[in-house]
Structure 1
Amino acid sequence: MKKNTPEGAEAAVQYWWDTVYYLDETGNSDLMLDASHEDCSYCNRYATVMEEWYSSEKGWREGSRVTVGDSFTSEFEGGTQVGSKIYISEANAWDAEGKPRNDMSDVAYSDESWSFGLVFDSEDHHWKMWVVNREQP
């Protein structure tokens, strides 16, 4: 993930999902935002939602584990696009009293198509997530 190669970009996608899992589990967005470009609207929105939920609800969440499957890469001006099949485990959430919060829980997904735009930060020597899109069937 620290190399400006297609393989590095693909590894960065998996790392980014691992930081999303950490955010889901802790409410701390530092790692995810560090792996994200400042203009990534999906990244910023997700971080804000999770931070606000953790600070206001005082609940907790067992986050979704994501495994990145088959991927392809293509270059675009200023970055690399990675298309991947991803597998997402279910996520469960509870409020401060331990009651389930279905609105903050997610079902498992299998073989979902997503696309990601990444840029290589030559100063920090790693990829940063710029665009995240779930493809509609």
Structure 2
Amino acid sequence: MNIAFIAHDKKKDDLVKFAIAYEEVLKDHRLYSTGTTGKRIMAETKLDIHRFKSGPLGGDQQIGSMIAENDMDLVIFFKDPLTAQPHEPDITALIRLCDVYTIPLATNMATAEILLSGLQRGEFTWREIEKEQGNDT
């Protein structure tokens, strides 16, 4: 599966800890991330991550493009709900694309844990069916 990681500045430490905790699950998947977040995760784990640009510089949109092309299966986006983000329209668009294309999205650690537990149990086979059928919304 293709899995994307994004984290606002105040949530990057949490996402790094999450990636460390689930490294064994994540290592068998294709991983993508916005720039700094991916760099931080790779520094603390043995995970190989394709890094896009930083979120404010277009990384959110690059991941959004993969979603729109049905090339992303899961997004883990640790948002900071208490800090205004200068690229808020990009964030909103990314979340909307996840809804439009039925891509599982976790915006906090609790939801991310539930999604990765499901991934461990093989409960995402429906994504492979979606890809094979080339379903467009």
Length-normalised TM-score, structure 1: 0.27
Length-normalised TM-score, structure 2: 0.27
Query: Higher Cα Rg: structure 1 or 2?
Result: 1
Q: If each structure's helix is expressed as a fraction of its own residues, which one has the higher value?
A: 2
